[in-house]
A = this chain, B = another copy of it.
Amino acid sequence: MALEHAILVSLLEKPGSGYELARRFERSIGYFWTATHQQIYRVLKRMEGDGWIDVREVPQQGRPDKKEYSVAALGRTVLSGWLHEPIEPESVRHDLAVKIRGAAFDDPAALISEVERHHRAHADRLAHYLAGQLRDFTGPEAPAAQDAGQELQHAVLRGGIAYERMMLAWLDDVLATLHRLRPER
């Protein structure tokens, strides 16, 4: 389980409230790790109880008060320990692959619009990543000299970009296959 660790990393990058974390998990972090606000609030509470993180009540004007969390010394130790122990290469779950194999027992052509929908979603994500890369790393506004943290964030982002490009190419391949199967019916 690594949600705790994802939260620790995110809080080290920048302290924030449960709500803010939930929004980050919809955006940058969410590209390689998802979590709902329920999960985040529950885990934050446990982490606080275990002394991994500190809380600070922050009164706000024009909006409800928030609890800003930051990583405690113990949290850094826990994260360091996790970083040094090996993890298993992650298990994959591709609903779409199940559908594609299942289409053989139904109507392959009916899957075309679904695959096209996924294609658009991945194209959108790729555009979003590329915009982020330009803004934060390779564009004229980006800082010239980058520290280790930025270098590593960029490496992760490049992984996201590579993943989306691979998916787009593969979905094109799948679409071509589905079209090829169509006349045979």
Contacts and interface: CB of A to CB of B under 8 A. Distances in A.
Contact of A2 (B79, B98, B104, B111): B98
Contacts of A142: none
A144 interface: no
- Determine how many copies of this chain the complex contains: 2
B90 A106 contact: no
Contact of A90 (B90, B93, B147): B93
A111 B79 CA distance: 13
A86 B154 CA distance: 33
Contact of A156 (B89, B101, B184): B101
Contact of A96 (B82, B87, B110): B87
A117 B6 CA distance: 21
A interface majority secondary structure:
helix
Given A117-B86, A177-B152, A101 B9 contact: yes
Contacts of A93: 2, 32-34, 90
Given A98-B9, A110-B83, A149 B104 contact: yes
A120 B137 CA distance: 29
B5 A100 contact: no
Interface residues of A, number: 68
A65 to B, nearest CB: 28
A105 B12 CA distance: 8
Given A92-B31, A103-B83, A98 B5 contact: yes
Q: What 7 pairs between A and B have smallest CB-CB spacing? A: A104-B149, A32-B97, A32-B94, A34-B91, A166-B166, A9-B102, A155-B177
A128 B99 CA distance: 23
A139 interface: no
A79 B103 CA distance: 9
Contacts of A155: 100, 173-174, 177
